[in-house]
Amino acid sequence: MADPILHLKRVVLPFQEPTPAIDLVIHTGEIWLIDGPAKSGKTTLFKVMSGLIQPHGGEIILFGNSLRRISNRTLARLRRRMGVLLEGDGLIPSWSIYDNLALPWRYHDLLSEQALQQTLVALLQQFDEEEELLYRVAATLTIEQRRRMAVLRSLQNDPSLLLLDNDGVASYLERLMPYLQRRLDDHSLALVLRGTAAMARYLPADRLHRATLRAGTLHLHANPSHLDQRSVT
């Protein structure tokens, strides 16, 4: 099997009370659905996986690079291969959606204005969104619209690893699924999302792995369709 895209090795989440170490191996083509009660550490786990916060122990290997040993510049380069949706939508409220989505491209000089316009319009069309939304100020959109725009932003780089730390994404999954399914079938994407067991019905069972987080401890649910052992403690 190919190298994992994300590997958590004996990672201890940064809680005040010590918690057992987590081992989690994620490969392309896999979907990981992580659920758990409130305050169980789901957001903390997603922040650790994206390198936003440091764990109390263990090692995170992202795209074959240990996050402990890489520079900030390398981490920024690796993050361009990731798409992340945080618990909040992460949009700058006083900016238009266009400016929000264009920010990383413009800031890092990745695309010309013309190409950027085409890319963003194509992105919205791909997921049946109205182009008019691009030119609205983020603060004037509904929570649902903002969340959808934030999801699209996480997809705009065609990421290899998609981390969706937001329960509200369930209502949008149906529209995203054709794109996600194609990328999963190509083994060019791994999807980790937070949600309840009910979300599993939107996801292809043969690729789905489920885990529950309780007080910083991750418990794997066996998936009958593929019983090759993923090491999850």
Q: Is the dihedral of CA 192, 197, 201, 202 positive or negative?
A: negative
Among 18, 37, 64, 93, which residue interacts with other proteins (rule: CB under 8 A)?
93
Least Å distance, CB 92 to other proteins, is: 5
Q: Does residue 71 bind other proteins (CB under 8 A)?
A: no
Reference 147, options 79, 83, 87; nearest CA is 87
Q: Does residue 215 bind other proteins (CB under 8 A)?
A: no
Give the residue with the Cβ less far from other proteins, 28 or 100. 100
Q: Does residue 103 bind other proteins (CB under 8 A)?
A: yes
Give the residue with the Cβ less far from other proteins, 141 or 208. 141
Q: Does residue 104 bind other proteins (CB under 8 A)?
A: yes
Q: Does residue 137 bind other proteins (CB under 8 A)?
A: no
Q: Does residue 161 bind other proteins (CB under 8 A)?
A: no
Residues between 108 and 127 with contacts to other proteins, criterion CB under 8 A: 108-109
Phi, psi for 177 (deg, rounded to 5): -60, -40
Least Å distance, CB 58 to other proteins, is: 21
Token readout for 157 is: 């780089």
Give the residue with the Cβ less far from other proteins, 86 or 121. 86
Least Å distance, CB 15 to other proteins, is: 18
Q: Does residue 80 bind other proteins (CB under 8 A)?
A: yes
- Within 8 A by CB and 6+ apart from 229, the residues are none
Least Å distance, CB 84 to other proteins, is: 5
Token readout for 85 is: 């949706």
Q: Report the alpha-carbon distance of residue 70 to residue 72 in Å, rounded.
A: 7
What is the contact mask toward other proteins in residues 32 to 61, using x (rule: CB under 8 A)?
---------------x--x-x---------
The residues binding other proteins (CB under 8 A) are 47, 50, 52, 75-77, 79-80, 82, 84, 86-94, 103-104, 106-109
